[in-house]
Amino acid sequence: MIQEERAEIGGVATRAARTAGRDDLPAFLFLHGFSDSASGWRRLQRRLAEAGHTTLAVDQPSHGDADPVRSDEPVIPQFVDFAAAAATVTDEGRPVIVVGNSLGGAHALLLGQHHPDLVHGVVAISPASFDHPRWFGVLDDDSRAGRTLRRIRAQAEGRASRKTPNAVQRVLGRSIADGAIRNVAFGAPWRAPGGFVEDIRNQLRDQSRRDALHDLARQVHAEYFDATPVDLGAITVPVQAIWGTRDRLVKLSSRATLEAGLADLDFVALPSMGHMPQLEAPGRTAKHIRRFADRLAVRTPTD
């Protein structure tokens, strides 16, 4: 049902995962979060496709199989331009509903802010750049936490260069890393799909990908967290915000900021879910998104 292909979107070579749907139903564009990829939307994409919707999920720059961002330029304009280009190809230029998670949630809101002509509405799932826990300081190399992490990483790399880990050490290290991903991103670790953890691991296995994500993390900290780039008051399209009550990456307290800033907000709190409810509870997430689309009374005309 989901067809994957190489594509060039906004001058960025990337991977696109598509489903074809009915012309009288709204189309959806999916923007993943940091270190994720288009693959993270498969569960939700299938459910919306089964309901007849056209969908497009893409690897954002510096993720998955996409070209990296240009490191000598601010990254926010690059991501917004990419999202705008993806919106225009999702449903043959007709406005779409853009769905984003985490970093992609911030990009979805920015798309609604800067290109309201391209979107009917925005679904922001735990969007980044709002209320984050203090440990997010590890993304800033100049912070105390960042310096500590850099020192630990240097020591680990030094030990690794002197001694190649044996099979038991590799399995143990992978188990610890997998457990960390499951515990941080999900409300209940056992609800994390095995394929998702494998996709994250595959991205980090390649040294060039690790370097690209590390460089991007520093830019993200400066551009998204030091100063919030989203002007909620400038967003005129309807917004649905979906949050897991056990989100450990973006605090549920962000709700107050969104309610104060957005003119048209539908807020959904999913009990016991974590940062990625589209993976933990794709059926419930799809139900709320479809309800939001129905409320917008979006019915695109046939040609």
> What fold is seen in the domain 3-130+223-295?
Rossmann fold (3.40.50)
Average pLDDT of the residues in 154-176:
43
69-116 pLDDT, tens digit each: 998 899 999 999 999 999 999 988 888 999 999 999 999 999 999 999
Evaluate whether 262 touches 239 at the Cβ level (below 8 Å): yes
Distance of CA 124 to the CA centre of its chain: 9
**With bands split at pLDDT 50, 70 and 90, how would you rate the model's confidence at 146?**
very low
Closest CA to 12 of 86, 93, 117, 118: 86
- What 8-state DSSP symbol labels residue 191? G
Residue 271 to residue 242: CA distance in whole angstroms: 11
What would the mean pLDDT of 1-22 be, rounded to a whole number? 95
What does pLDDT average to over the chain?
Answer: 82
User: Considering Cα of 127, then 128, then 134, then 136, what sign does the dihedral take?
Assistant: positive
pLDDT, average across residues 144-170: 45
Q: What is the pLDDT of residue 156?
A: 44
**pTM for the full predicted model:** 0.84
Q: What is the mean pLDDT of residues 21-31?
A: 94
**pLDDT at residue 171 in the model:** 35
CA count, 13 A, side-chain hemisphere, 177: 14
Domain boundaries, the chain: 3-130+223-295
**Average pLDDT value for residue range 282-296:** 94
Task: Render pLDDT for 210-231 as a digit per residue (tens, 0 to 9).
Answer: 777 878 888 887 888 777 899 9
Q: What is the pLDDT of residues 41-78, one digit of tens each?
A: 999 999 999 999 999 999 999 998 899 999 889 999 99
Residue 64's identity, in one-letter code, is G
pLDDT of res. 178? 52
Is the pLDDT confidence value at 128 over 80?
yes
